[in-house]
Amino acid sequence: MLKKREHGKRNKKLSKQLFDGGIYLDWTITTAFYSAIHLIEAKVLPCTIRGQQCANINDVMDAYRMRGRHASRERLAQDFLPMEVYVRYKWLDDKSRYSRYTTYKITKTEAVKACEYINYIEDACK
Amino acid sequence: MTVITNGGSETFIQYLNSIKDQVKKDSSDGYYHVDIVADAYSQGYQDGQKSGKKDFIKKVLKERIERFTQTANQVYILTSKLVSVLKDSDYDVVSFHIDLNTTCPRSLIVVDIEILNDDKFVYLAYSTIKELKDVFKKIFADSMLDMSIIGSENLEYSLLSEDGFGYSEAIKPKNAKKERTRKKK
């Protein structure tokens, strides 16, 4: 899971750079979310779900009998991480997924919050 | 896109009735189209026993519509529950939107963008979402409710309907009700 953690950290670095650039604030949030995905998988996997050993997200999908990786990952965060981490993960998820409904117009306050939340998730997933 | 301003469970039921025919036509992922299932089933029948196929299609359609209605009602009830939890904590909700087209139904709650940046709100809203999703999961083991929150700033409502959110209901601000009551007096 070291690779996952490194991947998460790399995405987080990019998220910070995009924030500092001040132009692509929507991508600040999206990359923060992609960072969270890797950090959370690195923290939780491998794990056992319903008696089934899960080494990766496909195993998780299979164990939960769910169709999508996205929904399975959210369920993983719900079941294995503290609520404080889950709520921040879900916030990043919603912002990232639905920014298309606001034509990618993201305020600076939202981007600041995304940086704050990914920092929190990284600390919690050490 | 029409956002219903005087919504409620009755309005939602009217909406459900208007889209029930869609369920008959729908052959979404994971389901065989009823005609295909019925054809396979009727192979066991000899010529002249056409009524078997007809009854079978009728039964399958009835079950699918019942299941669809049950799911839709739960989505509406759980979404309304989230709205009421937020309103009870003095957070105004602008509107909510429901997509029943997929095998994984979605509901989207719209709030003021400033509220969405408040840590206390984030904790309350998303921990409640977790509880409500668990309730849905207990009722429908093979389906999952996708419940999300979005800020109202720059929101293009037409994109919601294009993306499948067919039912939309506006929520009256809590303070507006108080103001109206005061005016009456």
Q: HEC profile for B90-122?
A: CCCEEEEEEECCCCCCEEEEEECHHHHCCHHHH
Q: Which residues contact B11 (CB under 8 A, 6 or more apart)?
A: B4, B169
pLDDT band (50, 70, 90) for residue B45: low
Cβ(B143)–Cβ(B102) below 8 Å: no
Report which of residues B56 and A19 the model is more confident about: A19
Asked if A88's CB is within 8 angstroms of B122's CB, the reply is yes
Distance CA A113, CA A29 (A): 9
Amino acid identity, position B25 = K
Q: Identify whether the C-beta of residue A61 lies closer than 8 Å to the C-beta of residue A69.
A: yes
Torsion angle, alpha carbons of A33, B96, B165, B81, to 10: 90
How far does A122 lie from chain B, in Å, by closest CA? 17
Which of B104, B127, B148 has the CB atom closest to A94's CB atom? B148
Grouping H, G, I as helix, E, B as strand and the rest as coil, residue A52 is: strand
- Whether the per-residue pLDDT at B160 is higher than 90: the answer is yes
Cβ contact B104–A71 (<8 Å): yes
Confidence of residue B185 (pLDDT cuts 50, 70, 90): very low
Question: Which of A29, A86, A90 is the best substitution to test chain B (most B C-beta atoms within 10 A)?
Answer: A90
Which of A52 and B8 is assigned the larger pLDDT?
A52
Q: Is the pLDDT of residue A110 over 70?
A: yes
Please tell me the pTM assigned to this model: 0.84
- Which pLDDT belongs to residue A66? 87
pLDDT tens for residues B86-102? 999 999 999 999 999 76
Give the pLDDT mean for A22-45.
96
In the structure encoding, which two tokens stand for residue A13, read together? 């670095």
What is the share, in percent, of chain B residues with pLDDT greater than 90? Answer: 47
CA diameter of chain B: 76
Quote the pLDDT of residue B27.
46
Sign of CA pseudo-dihedral A16, A17, A23, A27: negative
A6-23 mean pLDDT: 96
- Arithmetic mean of pLDDT, B3-17: 82
ipTM above 0.90, yes or no: yes
